Structure 1
Amino acid sequence: MASTSILLLATLLALASWQSIASDPSPLQDFCVADKHSPVLVNGFACKDPMAVNADDFFKAAMLDKPRDTEKSKVGSNVTLINVMQIPGLNTLGISIARIDYAPLGENPPHTHPRATEILTVLEGTLYVGFVTSNQANRANQLFSKVLNKGDVFVFPEGLIHFQFNPNPHLPAVAIAALSSQNPGAITIANAVFGSKPMISDDVLAKAFQVEKGTIDWLQAQFWENNHY
């Protein structure tokens, strides 16, 4: 019985140690340009033949230099993400970048990146930003927030719910975000909960949010816009 307990403890410690270092795969060569046409299924993309690689595999022209349209967005923001899908040379390098445009009073609503930490720099305007911790005993869903001005930097830890809001009713704002994954992903909370396909049962959501089912039905009937393009 004792040996079984020791084996179980050792296994749990090994899993915990492995999980703590799990991240995007580290490169074992100069580059592994994504071959999006390869039939091989791996965690990421198979490598393109190095002899067929050229400078364009590491380049994307004029993607982040111009403001994106925020007027058509219900949340008043527009995210322009440059990840491995736009630059195949990012494959295995564990990084991507995004430009975020905010209309006056626009926001990038509460969301998470399941595979990346984000570091945000304000280029123009003012942003109110924050993230919420997990339900640890000593910090039960604590909010960490700041008001950022031009040149300020803020970090959102991997996987935690975070947001950005432009409090200025007259002027837009712009930020650049770097993310520690070639494909960070984005789960916008309202979209995922009320706009999933197929929908989550209103019985489940009514109990989870402690409201009437009619409120859930109304929320599920809304158009939940994706501002992460």
Structure 2
Amino acid sequence: MEGFHFLQALFILTLASSLAYASDPSPLQDFCVAINDPNDAVFVNGKVCKGAKLATADDFFFSGLNIGKITSNSVGSSVTPVNVAQISGLNTLGISLARIDYAANGGLNPPHTHPRATEILVVLEGTLYVGFVTSNPDNRVIAKVLNKGDVFVFPVGLVHFQFNPGKSKAVAIAALSSQDPGVITIANAVFGSDPSINPDVLSKAFKLDKSMVKSLQSKF
């Protein structure tokens, strides 16, 4: 009977660990600095890596998150990513960062998802209204107003957003559980796909007149 209980507990722990797995695979070496030249290199985690003895400090370095970006665009926000594309030494390490700048009076990081990462966001400056939407069938909005120093988590794969309701700019830093979390901005993907999705599909899905669908497609 004790053996049965042990096997039962082992099964439960194994199942829990598999369900909790939500980041990139663990590396099997200290690091694997990504390079674009495939000659005489090793392919690991979607990137070609140079020899460990050729790695330098610059392979693990990025400068510039102290510099804000211009937010005078259609949504009033700008993202500065720091993933494996910017720091080649992040390859296989399963983490990345981003700085987000939000314009005053309505700067928005539009509803989007990260298909490969959970995100944790800390507000460095200003005020943000943030939230995410749970899966079907509930589609419940879980949202909160954040101030300087506040932290909020967006679970992997769920649609989420950030909005600046304040009269001054806002700045936040996001950490993500993937070297390359990916991003799918909902409106861009749906109305700005190339080639365009058949308007009949979107008209029925969003309960919109087809002319309205075509108008929205023309804006993305």
Tell me which interval the TM-score lies in, with the shorter structure as reference length: 0.7 to 0.9
Given that residues 131 and 144 in structure 2 are in contact (C-alpha distance below 8 angstroms), is that contact kept between their aligned partners in structure 1? yes
Q: Which runs of 5+ in 1 are unaligned?
A: 1-13, 225-229
Structure 1 SS opposite 2:34:
coil
Residue 32 of structure 1: CA displacement? 0.9
State the 1:16 CA deviation: 11
How much has 1:43 moved relative to structure 2? 3.9
Give SS of 1:46's match: strand
- Aligned position for 1:6: none
Deviation at 1:206, TM superposition (A): 0.4
Letter of the structure 1 residue corresponding to residue 46 of structure 2: G
Task: Give % identity.
Answer: 66
Equivalent residue in structure 2 for 1:165, among 153, 163, 166: 163
Partner of 2:100: 100
C-alpha contact 2:84 2:91 (8 A) present in aligned 1: yes
Alignment counterpart, residue 217 of structure 1, candidates 204, 214, 218: 214
- Between the aligned partners of 1:16 and 1:210, the Cα distance in structure 2 is 40
Q: How far has the Cα of 1:210 moved from its partner? A: 1.1
Output one character per residue of 1:41-68: Cα deviation in whole Å (capped at 9) or x when no partner: 654213211121111100112x201111
Task: Tell me what 2:54 maps to.
Answer: 52
In structure 2, runs of 5+ residues without a counterpart are 1-13
Q: Does 1:65 align with 2:66?
A: yes
Query: Could you report, residue by residue, the CA deviation over 1:98-133 in whole angstroms, capped at 9, with x for unpaired residues?
Result: 000000111100000000000000000000000000
Aligned-partner residue type, residue 201 of structure 2: V
1:154 aligned residue (152, 155, 161): 152
Is 1:177 aligned with 2:174?
A: yes
Amino acid at match of 1:148: L
TM-score by length of 2: 0.87
Q: Which residue is equivalent to 1:111?
A: 112
- Residue 23 to residue 197, structure 1, CA distance change in 2 (3 Å): same
* CA RMSD between the two structures: 2.0
Counterpart of 1:181 in 2: which secondary structure?
A: coil
Letter in 2 for 1:112: T
Q: Which residue of 1 aligns with 2:4?
A: none
Normalising by structure 1, what TM-score? 0.84
